[in-house]
Amino acid sequence: MIKAAITATGGYVPKDILTNQDLEKMVDTTDEWITSRTGIKERRILKNLEFSDMGAAAVNMILEKRGISPLEIDMIICCTITGDMIFPASACIIADKTGMKNAWGYDLSAACSGFLFGLETGSKMIESGKYKKVIVLGGDRMSSIIDYTDRNTCIIFGDGLGGVLLEPTEENEGIMDSVLHVDGSGRAFLHQKAGGSSMPPTQATIDQRLHYVYQEGQTVYKFAVTNMTEVSRQIMDRNNLKAEDIAWLVPHQANKRIIDATADRMGIGPDRVMLNIMRYGNTTNGTLPLCLWEWENQMKKGDNIILSAFGGGFTWGSIWIKWAYDTK
């Protein structure tokens, strides 16, 4: 039976840094509050480039690492809520910028769980036998939809993107299992009010600052802790995975307290949790693939990796991967 394995990772984080000290000058907040409530110290902000440039950089890195031509890529799935334009899809733009002339693809919108949904979709394309090389990107330019006068949201989010290449394998490794959910009744607590077809942009929507992220943090926090811990535990139990069987937990980087609760429920110590929230904040679709990219050298063939996320929609889920290669 064909399975889909990750065979290379890539990533891009912008060079410009927005620190907690910078934010202290912009809104009524403190480094102490942000650090203790979220774990974030700084985040990256994309300037003078487009979202798709981050995607193109990650794709080029993947192609170079794997030693393949862009013409070999069959498909690209770009998971994002902040693509270059409402349409066309950023997948099209990134394919154009990198010379993927034989690929088809699309954008996938599932907020913070987007990369999980993209990985599930991409792996099924590989398992179908029809596609041999599928790139799944996850990333966001959150700074384009953040109100830097709103201390509830501006301290949390940042820009960045990561991605992986999926290829078929006959071995019992790669994307092993998934538990994925949506509950649209959660939309009341985390959304962007204007800019969609329900509320197209007008002068009034701009004046009322409706094109920015709206979040009721405490409510989202409660759902995130409950659901992320539950699916992470569920994917372990139904696959008979014990805490000691898991090499790495890759959690969505929304709040260090949510990450700690998830790891605790799974019985996984901090030395086996990928954590970069202090440096990048919450990059929405970018958090999981950026972790895989940054920790690529530390993962070994056969490692059991659990990815977990929760986000706007609500969307949430967990994926079990058996890592398929050693980097060195």
Question: Which one, 174 or 312, has the nearer CB to ligand UT7?
Answer: 312
- Binding residue for ligand UT7, selected from 82, 282, 315, 318, defined by CB under 6 A: 282
Strand pairing category for 134-141 and 159-169 = antiparallel
- Binding residue for ligand UT7, selected from 58, 79, 213, 224, defined by CB under 6 A: 224
Amino acid at 149: T
Tell the smallest beta-carbon distance from residue 264 to ligand UT7 (Å). Answer: 16
Tell the smallest beta-carbon distance from residue 20 to ligand UT7 (Å). Answer: 9
Instruction: Clarify whether 112 is annotated catalytic.
Output: yes
Tell the smallest beta-carbon distance from residue 112 to ligand UT7 (Å). Answer: 4
Q: How many CA atoms lie within 13 A of 30 on its CB side?
A: 3
**Residue 51 to residues 12, 90, 130, 142, 184, Cα–Cα distance (Å):** 10, 8, 29, 10, 27
Nearest in space to 227 (alpha carbons), one of 181, 284, 283: 181
Q: What angle do CA 237, 243, 245 make, to 5 degrees?
A: 95
Q: Determine how many CB atoms are found less than 10 A away from the CB of residue 67.
A: 7
Instruction: Clarify whether 291 is annotated catalytic.
Output: no
Binding segment for ligand UT7 among 164-172, 192-200, 218-226, 272-280 (CB under 6 A)?
218-226
Instruction: Clarify whether 252 is annotated catalytic.
Output: yes
Residue 67 backbone class (left: φ over 0; alpha: ψ -120 to 50; beta: rest):
left
Considering the rule CB under 6 A, would residue 178 count as an interface residue with ligand UT7? no
Considering the rule CB under 6 A, would residue 280 count as an interface residue with ligand UT7? no
Q: Just list the catalytic residues.
A: 112, 252, 282
Interface residues with ligand UT7 (CB under 6 A) are 29, 33, 37-38, 112, 151-152, 155-156, 217-218, 220-221, 224, 254-255, 258, 282, 310-312
